[in-house]
Amino acid sequence: MSSDAVKKRKPKVIRNEEGTPETKRGRAEGEQDVLVYHEEVELEGRDPQQDYLLYKDTCAALAKLMAEIQELKSSGAKVGSVEMEERRRQCSVHFITLKKLNRLAHMRLKKGRDQTHEAKQRVDVLHLQLQNLLYEVMHLQKEINKCLEFKSQHEEIELVSEEEFFQEAPAEISRPHVTRDDHHQLTLARLDWELEQRKRLAEQYKMSLARKEKIHKAIEQKREYLSSLQPGLQNIMQASLPVQECLSMPFEQMQKQAEVARHLPPPLYVLLVQAAAYGQACDKTLSASISGDVDEAKALSRPPEDSQDDESDSDAEEEQQNTKRRRATVGVQLDDKRKEMLRRHPLSLCVDLKCKDGSVLHLFFYYLMNLNILTVKTKVSTTTDLSGAVSAGELLNSESLLNCLYASDHGQETPNPTNRYQFDKVGITTFADYVSDLGHPYVWVQKLGGLQFSSDSELMGSALSASHMERTMKLLQGRLQARLALHKQFSSLEHSIIPVSGECQHLFPAKVVSGLTRWTMMSYQEFTELGFVQHVLKAGLLRETDLFFMAVVERGTARLLAAVVVNPRYPEVMPLFSLSLHWKGERSGRTEDNLRAMESEVNVFRAELQGPRPGFQLLTNQIQRLCVCLDVYLEMESQVCDGSEGPKEFPREKMCLRTARGPSRLKPFKYNHPQGFFSHR
């Protein structure tokens, strides 16, 4: 603008404006350059408002002059007239004034812009400085924070508490006069003390290690010495064996047994201990021994983690192999699972019970590991040959020999209730299918092994076993002897001889005419189909576990069929007879009171028929009494009917006082010894 002003310097136009001070100033500056005219300087002196008013005046004057010119022109004055020229000159002056004002306005604008720009620059600079400072402040703040947060490693070291420190540390380190006041010094002191202590303890540790090494070496030496002794001891033991046998103190054997016994599962161990104790104390004929594979048992008792790892590894391998070849069928897998569930412990116990006549009952006890029950298998060995009695086939059958040793202990189902759930998982419906393989899980076997499954008694373990041992052993021996006695009796019964022992002869008259002609065994099915045993069936006195026989007693034309139910617990439970007579028609105990009285005579009077203890004569006495009763019946019968039938078939030979008594007119079935006559009950 100033250059413009310089350029616009018009020597012609020298304005002599109101602003003379500016001109003076211009002149002052003009000493350097007299011809330079600074309009900006003039600008500072002028008031914009006044300039504006001047502008308005000028415009108004111009408009007025124009109007006058117009008037003049319209009034027909000449163009070059003096007034018009005067006015035109004035208009030009006004125009120049307007131009100046315009220039001034522009210069003012430019000046204003420059000022603004400058101010802005200053503000920007200040602003930038402010930002820098703020940034630095922030940075410094962060640094301060970092420093404040810094955790020195020393804080992780556990130091003893201050009181302890002051008490224990020597004065050079603790320097209480300094440290009590200064926390930093205190910490340093404590660290020092800690360091010293640790060094001391490290020394001690090294020394202890060295000592330990020495002791180890000493132990090793002693061990070697001991193991060198072992072969020597073995030789001595071997040499002592003959001495032991001589003195019949089988220490060696017992030790070996004890050694193996350590690997027995707990129930078998309890059983072994109790049986051996009982054998020593009460019954010298009992002997117990262990059989089976000891190594397998040892393998089983290895720590479970190792074996589990091995198993899982091997399982994984096997599975992989299987998928490579062919997947085993679901059935085979289930079978395997079943076999696994029913697995027996490799060790088993064998208990031998000897009876007076030399026959032995061998009991083999097994432990099923996953089911936690004991089972038993039996074997009987006798001194005499037992063949020859067809009907006695079932008596010593190892499957049913020990049935119902205690009432209703059938041994077909497992007594452990948790097994039910285990069986469901592998699809076993009844345990009875496996009983012939695995042995019978009788309840008394569980009790002998100390396993208690019912909530009957509070005894467990050895106490339970001990409380049942004596009774069970006696029952077992009794059972074997009863069965052997029955066996012998059956072989003579099959030959139609009733073996009545000498002590029981007094129960019967000397002459018995009716004789046993047949003695056969029957099955449960055949038995229950008989018509004349239905009352026994209805009274619930028959069970599938019982033994069933048919005896036929004959005299002349009369034939008496007797269906016999023998409970496995014979002779504790009396055999039950049901009668049917075929003589001039068919009568049974249901239709005729006298036959019912005969049944009663044979079934009810245990005390008389039992014979001497232990009562093995019961069955034969019952059969003999049956024959006697049939004699009485047939002989007395002929008396009652009048003689219109001709000669009596059975002449009366029995002595009695009365042939009929009471409302049912019963015959005298009771035999009185030694008078030898028959009377009524």
Partner 1 sequence: MGPVELLHMSVFSQSFSPCGRFLAAGNNYGEIAVFSLSAALSPDASQASQKPILNFTAHDGPVFSLLSTDTHLLSAGNGEISAWSWAELIKKSTKAAWTRKPSYETSLEIPEINAMIINPKDNSLIVGGGDNNIHIMDMETGIFKSVLKGHTDYIHCLCFKEREEEILSGGEDGAVRIWGHTEIPLSHFQTCSGMASQECARPQFGKWISCLATDSDWMLCGGGPSLSLWHLRSMSPTSVFPLPGCQREAVFYQDLIMSVGEGPHVSHCLHGGTVKAQIPCTPSSLNTLALNLKNTEHRVMTVGGSSHQIDVFTNFSYKAFSLSF
Binding site for partner 1 (CB under 8 A): 535-536, 539-541, 574, 576, 590-591, 593, 596, 599-600, 603-604, 640-642, 644, 657-658, 660-665, 679-681
Query: How crowded is residue 310: how many other Cβ atoms within 10 Å of its Cβ?
Result: 11
In terms of phi and psi (left: phi > 0; alpha: psi -120 to 50; beta: otherwise), the region of 395 is alpha
In terms of CB distance, is 41 or 563 closer to partner 1? 563
In terms of phi and psi (left: phi > 0; alpha: psi -120 to 50; beta: otherwise), the region of 501 is beta
- Report, in Å, the least distance between residue 531 CB and partner 1: 13
- Report, in Å, the least distance between residue 497 CB and partner 1: 27
Residue ranges in 248-291 assigned as alpha helix (H): 251-261, 266-281
- Report, in Å, the least distance between residue 579 CB and partner 1: 12
Q: In what order do the strands lie in the sheet with 373-381?
A: 287-292, 347-354, 360-368, 373-381
- Report, in Å, the least distance between residue 680 CB and partner 1: 8
In terms of CB distance, is 149 or 642 closer to partner 1? 642
d(CA 446, CA 444): 5
In terms of CB distance, is 362 or 670 closer to partner 1? 670
d(CA 94, CA 56): 11
In terms of CB distance, is 384 or 591 closer to partner 1? 591
In terms of CB distance, is 444 or 570 closer to partner 1? 570
Tokens of 451: 């396993």
d(CA 664, CA 265): 65
d(CA 51, CA 541): 147
CA angle 491–492–493, rounded 5-degree value: 95
In terms of CB distance, is 354 or 535 closer to partner 1? 535
- Report, in Å, the least distance between residue 661 CB and partner 1: 6
- Report, in Å, the least distance between residue 295 CB and partner 1: 54
- Report, in Å, the least distance between residue 668 CB and partner 1: 9
- Report, in Å, the least distance between residue 594 CB and partner 1: 11
Fill in the DSSP letter of residue 345.
P
In terms of CB distance, is 297 or 598 closer to partner 1? 598
d(CA 666, CA 340): 65
d(CA 268, CA 365): 8
The set of long-range contacts for 8-13, using a CB threshold of 8 Å and a minimum separation of 24, is 8/103, 9/35, 9/37, 13/96
- Report, in Å, the least distance between residue 596 CB and partner 1: 6
In terms of CB distance, is 335 or 593 closer to partner 1? 593
In terms of CB distance, is 428 or 595 closer to partner 1? 595
d(CA 347, CA 363): 14
